[in-house]
Amino acid sequence: MKRTTPVVPAEDIRRQMGYCDELRALNARRPVPPLAWVDTYGCQQNEADSELLRGMLCEMGYQISDTEQGADVIVINTCAIREHAEQRVFGNVGALVHGKRRHPDQIVCLCGCMAQEPHVADRLRQSYRHVDLVFGPQALWRFPELLRRVYLRRGRVFETEPSDGAIAEGLPVRRSGKLKAWVSIMYGCNNFCSYCIVPYVRGRERSREPEIVLSEIRALVEQGYKDITLLGQNVNSYGKDLEGEMDFPALLERADAIPGDFLLRFMTSHPKDATEKLFDVMARCQKVAPCLHLPFQSGNTRVLAAMNRRYTREGYLEKVHALRQRIPDIVLTSDVIVGFPGETTQEFEDTLSLIEAVRFDALFTFIYSPRKGTPAAELPDPMPKQEKSANFERMVAVQDRISLEKHRAYIGSVQRCLIDGTAQGPDGGLTARTPGNRLVHLSGAPALIGQFAPVRITGCSTWALSGELAR
């Protein structure tokens, strides 16, 4: 199968593994194994990238720590989606200067989407001199080489040149969980929604080879993973750079055919590319979870055009209708932005009415945050902050009511849930997920963790269900 996007040659990956060996040999001379801490901000793709960073650090002889205290290497894997998250990163990275004064050999690295923004790299260069290594997402596979450069020369390294990116296979991974796993199927984005920084920092869409994705899923199932999420900025673009018939529904169908008792999820789906073929495959595949995250962003067609989303309000509603015809009890979640530049109160009312019409199970709600370098950041934005906040509160209240109503409808039903952990907080107990990924609290023995079990739903709140084992 020929492809139109680049793949990192195997010999280049081998060279990186050679750097890992070299650093491991150096680290082995230390009296105690050095510690590394990886802190992750943002989306699931960043979580998956951090698992690769931890995998490479382990190969380099570091032990993974769950705290920055005493860490010899600190890696901050950042998110650039919202200004608030960026400010938090700057605050937290600034605070690391004290630890570095106490421990001058410590290496501080900053990577992820923020690192690829030119104004961030400049600020780090000038004002955060305790940061030793800065690299963007496209350079992640070269982490061993970059860290070695800092380690041996103790100089600062910035690897933030813009790049379309390539597919890098064969990197070590250290997964955070034993039940749930992320599998990236593609990287980058070509959509250039006018408010979004991702296409500028994560490069162009490029798909992993289907056989490699499928063998990774197969291996995860054999290791006992029960809940596998396929990741991509827009999974519905999967395969466009691959020659042949491979597209996302075809990949999903082949993943579903892998033997074993597990659930398949995926995110994110751009509505313009979510096809009836995808909905048909979701409906007939046994292991594909009955849930879809389908970000609508605005319920007004003019605003959608200004966002460069390339679908209309009506088009979105038609897709939801087509999906529910095939999977009536689909759990539908979405993202929405309030206060996009130029959005009027009347246009915001269209967002509210779309929420009422669709009745999402849950929403991820955001007030518009301008991102430097995106077209939307240049648009006039006359609506005062207080008005945006008031609209936001109204929207959250509407969705909270709908979420509660939808949760009440579960009461009395028995759901086949994956028991996935213990609850935090004084009451303890177990947590589980319905096939549609709704959180369930229940009591039971920790030995049940990792099993699918029938759970009778007995109560609910806006955010979660509660229940008891039904056997």
- For ligand SF4, the binding residues (CB under 6 A) are 189, 191-193, 196, 198-199, 233-234, 270
CA distance 410 to 462: 12
Spell out the residues 6+ positions from residue 247 whose beta carbon is closer than 8 angstroms to its own.
Answer: 238, 239, 240, 277
Least gap, CB of 256 to ligand SF4 (angstroms): 25
Residue with smaller CB distance to ligand SF4, 63 or 191: 191
**How many angstroms separate the CA atoms of 151 and 462, rounded?**
50
Whether the bond into 351 is cis, omega within 30 of 0: no
Cβ proximity to ligand SF4, 199 vs 375, nearer residue: 199
Both tokens of 313, joined, read 């309000």
Q: How far is the CB of 157 from ligand SF4 (least distance, A)?
A: 28
Q: What gap in Å lies between CA 179 and CA 156, rounded to an integer?
A: 38
Closest distance between ligand SF4 and the C-beta of residue 410, in Å?
30
| Minimal distance, residue 299 CB to ligand SF4, in Å | 17
d(CA 138, CA 148): 18
Q: Give the bridge partners for 111, in sequence order.
A: 77, 135
The residues near 39 (Cβ < 8 Å, ≥ 6 apart) are 68, 74, 75, 76, 77, 92
Q: Which is nearer to ligand SF4, 262 or 311 (CB)?
A: 311
CA distances in angstroms from 194 to 340, 368, 377, listed in the order given? 10, 12, 8
Comparison of 199 and 342: residue with beta carbon closer to ligand SF4: 199
Q: Cα separations (Å) of 294 from 404, 440, 442?
A: 20, 22, 29
User: Strand, helix or coil at 21?
Assistant: helix
Residue closer to ligand SF4 (CB basis): 204 or 326:
204
**Residues 6+ positions from 93 with CB-CB distance below 8 Å:** 76, 108, 110, 124, 128, 131
The least CB distance from residue 309 to ligand SF4, in Å, is 7
If the CB atoms of residues 164 and 261 are measured against ligand SF4, the closer one turns out to be 164
- The residue among 146 and 197 lying less far from ligand SF4, judged by its C-beta, is 197
CA dihedral 121, 125, 127, 130 (to 10 degrees): 110
Q: Nearest approach, Cβ of 427 to ligand SF4 (angstroms)? A: 37
Contact 230, 183 (CB under 8 A): yes
Of 121 and 193, the one with the shorter C-beta distance to ligand SF4 is: 193
Which candidate, 175, 308, 191, 288, places its Cα nearest to that of 240?
A: 191
Which is nearer to ligand SF4, 71 or 196 (by Cβ)? 196
